[in-house]
Amino acid sequence: EVQLVESGGGLVQPAGSLRLSCAASRFAFVSYEMNWVRQAPGKGLEWLSSISSSGATIYYADSVKGRFTISRDNAKNSLYLQMNSLRAEDTAVYYCARTRIAAFDYWGQGTLVTVSS
């Protein structure tokens, strides 16, 4: 079955940076759009960014535009999220997810990012 495994979360100070990774397996990663979604403690889901299968097309939510950068390495079956200028309100569980027919059909288990001094 499709597997998505996030890593790279942890505790970071305000204004710091962190890079999340999502390792994909058991499907043709190169053929799918991929996404990052987060969920702050006790809150709802927030879409952050999407990247096309080739990496040529990228979209961001306004809340992270200019601070976060999505990228992918199709040779390594990996998705990334570079997060800069982190704020307390970026504290959340971060999920990667695959797009199929305009929906997110597979999700990772999530990685927790805590922004605190």
Partner 1 sequence: DIQMTQSPFTLSASVGDSVNITCRASQSISSWLAWYQQKPGKAPKLLIYKASFLDGGVPLRFSGSGSGTEFTLTISSLQPDDFATYYCQQYNSYSRTFGQGTKVEIK
For the bound state, the minimum distance from the C-beta of residue 16 to partner 1, rounded and expressed in Å, comes to: 26
What size, in residues, is the chain?
Answer: 117
Whether residue 40 contacts residue 113, with contact meaning beta carbons closer than 8 Å, is answered with no
Nearest to 7 by CA among 89, 107, 95: 95
Q: Say whether residue 62 binds partner 1 (CB under 8 A).
A: yes
Identify the residue among 2, 5, 61, 112 touching partner 1 (CB under 8 A).
61
Q: Say whether residue 38 binds partner 1 (CB under 8 A).
A: no
Identify the residue among 52, 82, 107, 114 touching partner 1 (CB under 8 A).
107
Whether residue 113 contacts residue 51, with contact meaning beta carbons closer than 8 Å, is answered with no
Q: Say whether residue 105 binds partner 1 (CB under 8 A).
A: yes
